[in-house]
Amino acid sequence: MRVKTAAKINLALDVVGRLDNGYHAIESVFQTVGIYDEVTVELCEGTDIEITCEMPQKFADADPIPCDEHNIAYKAARAYLDRNGLEAGCRIHIKKDIPSQAGMGGGSSDAAAVMYCLHKLLGKDIPPTQSIGADVPFFLTGGTAYVSGIGENIRPITDYSGRILVIAKGTEGVSTAEAYGLIDGMEAPAHPDTDKLVNAVENAPDEAYRYFGNLFEEAVHLREVGDIEDKMTACGALRAVMTGSGSAVFGLFTERESAEICAAKLRTDGYFAEVCETVGSSFIEE
């Protein structure tokens, strides 16, 4: 079985506290977007799991992706088979088009796709996925959702699909652990108003962009992020914001022509840049 599996952005992302177990509590609005990896799952004899990866050279150079038991998609397959008590094996092939170290959940999306395919092929329920990756539960549904806790509390909200975006990324990055450490050291940060964003998405979606925001952007201060945002704004973006802990940026546009011009300019300047739209689900079966 082969599926395309979507990336995500955070229309808003706030860190609201630290739990006793050391994890940070977030409040966020997640949104799937039309940049996809392609995941193929094939059942095979025996109990082994094989994984192969195909990716643009620029992705491989920036962040080599493990094609072994360390890949989150492998872990998802192992968890699905073991927790359902299945004596089965599979081959997984991942074709990457979602940039890595971008805050777009590419690995978690691949893991969710593997579980989705195994569910379709074998008919067993998908076990709890939170332990595999914090974003994996969201990708099993996709669309637009208010997400809280450490990512396990997911409440779908009004569909925000069909919005035109440019998504761009440079070479700078910061680890998630480092980004959270920077947030822990902040004094009196300006938190995005996630509640107002949810209300706007549900009642005044054309005004929702006014409440986009990301606390991580205030903490990490990446030069390329600022440069991309400035270029997007100059091309007519209503708002440009970093997603996740970085370092991709999304800009919201009202016209595709302006978005295409912006993406072309960003690519000329050496950035990864694609035009896409917000989408209402994670998976497209092929």
Active-site choice (8, 75, 169, 231): 8
| Other CB atoms within 10 A of residue 128 CB | 11
- Phi first, then psi: give them for residue 275, nearest 5 degrees: -95, 135
135 is annotated as an active-site residue: yes
| Other CB atoms within 10 A of residue 204 CB | 10
Contact criterion met (CB below 8 Å) for 35 and 250? no
Q: What pairing do the DSSP bridges indicate for beta strands 153-156 and 144-149?
A: antiparallel
Q: Which helix (H) or strand (E) holds 234?
A: helix 223-234
Spatial separation of the C-alpha atoms in residues 238 and 255, rounded to whole Å? 11
| Other CB atoms within 10 A of residue 1 CB | 16
Question: What angle is formed at CA 21 by the lines to CA 20 and CA 24, rounded to 5 degrees?
Answer: 85
231 is annotated as an active-site residue: no
Spatial separation of the C-alpha atoms in residues 103 and 275, rounded to whole Å? 17
Please provide the DSSP assignment of 26-40 as one string.
Answer: EEEEEEEEEEEEEEE
Active-site choice (37, 110, 135, 231): 135
Instruction: State the burial class of residue 253 (Cβ atoms within 10 Å of its Cβ: 0-12, 13-18, 19+).
Output: buried
| Cis peptide, bond prior to residue 109, ω within 30 of zero | no
Spatial separation of the C-alpha atoms in residues 30 and 151, rounded to whole Å? 10
Contact criterion met (CB below 8 Å) for 51 and 92? yes
Spatial separation of the C-alpha atoms in residues 182 and 185, rounded to whole Å? 5
**Residues designated as active site:** 8, 135
